[in-house]
Structure 1
């Protein structure tokens, strides 16, 4: 399906990730807080487009990344995991390939992606959503569905397989297509028009959740400064032991990130290394494995 009903993209923005900072706009117009949690450099691609009151975003992630923050102050975002390997989480809940989610205006997105993850999303106003639904002869009332959360059901297998193929081409060729955006919009709007049940809402263990939130805020505010685990734990109002438990429980991570670039000091250097240096580093990791 193409976007002939709603127009065509004036311009796509395609980015090859040079570091975790490039994921601040993992969703179009968002200002997110990404934290690299793996030793491997942040690699992958992003493609963003906006036209006809519709914003499209897709990302292919090549590392273990935690991304948090609101996606939009006044628009709704509908999204799906095109490829979610084991270990991916949304709001501390496990998600898998084909998972579907709604992000309401102002609500915080909190995701954990692992290498190989790929997502696609559309962002639009409530009014534009109703117009698109009417064009597709679908009755939809997102406000009554249950708010931000992970929703049950899956897209039709044939349509979803086509979306996977189209967006895979987006990330390998660097030429996003209206067909990919059209298939995504059609699939998500028609699915949520069936009023699926919400299966998981934004939540996390109350103690660990608040500890992680305060720790992450401190790390971002002091990203350019030297800090220790004890400093982060003190800012989070807890002990180093509890801080480690929070990261292990919620992010499946045993190391505490000392910056927004990476959980290990050496990774900051790797993220800005030359291609030759990165190749040598990868080979050293393979030999030592």
Structure 2
């Protein structure tokens, strides 16, 4: 009989603004490691955050050698593929906006791998900020800031410019289109996002569809699972395999080592 990993619910937190609760769950990975996850009770098969921890004596320490989920890497690398950043040094001078905090997985990645990069995170629910700080050890400082505000209101009222905007905001209940939420597909919101980018800025979107969606005029392309969609203000040539190879060769080996990984990129001009 197959042995299932042991799971333990550490806390159940109910949102004050959403009619749903979230479970913080630890799942055993090995004798001294476990995965801490955030699960919406409305959609128990979807985990909003997954971070590996190590047990060192009585302490629980984040295992920063494992970046999970891998689409985080794709969302960051999109800006390198599109030429917003040419090197890790450039990225360290950048300002990134994250819409959708979750448990703070991106924040953990930035604190460890990109400590010089400025990151602003926006989420409408203070429950997520509590979970990120209490259970995933996310900190705020001069480089990282968390704003509790509706993401659409924030982007429409925003007067700052960002080098990279990452939209990772998803439905917490059963839905065919899980990420992004439909309001972010509204033309007025898309324009507001575009206006919030620098002249060479990149938009990176986590697209998660539960099922198979065949894109128009692309009979052999099916959207199933996590994909990273992106666009940029940069005037770039039509994206071809040769162009992608050229861009990847331009990216520092150090950058590829840090954010390399198995993820899907749907790049289209």
TM-score (norm 1): 0.24
Please identify the structure whose Cα radius of gyration is greater. 1
Question: Which has the larger share of strand?
Answer: 2
Question: Which has the larger share of helix?
Answer: 1
Higher RCO, 1 vs 2 (CA within 8 Å, ≥6 residues apart)? 1
TM-score (norm 2): 0.25
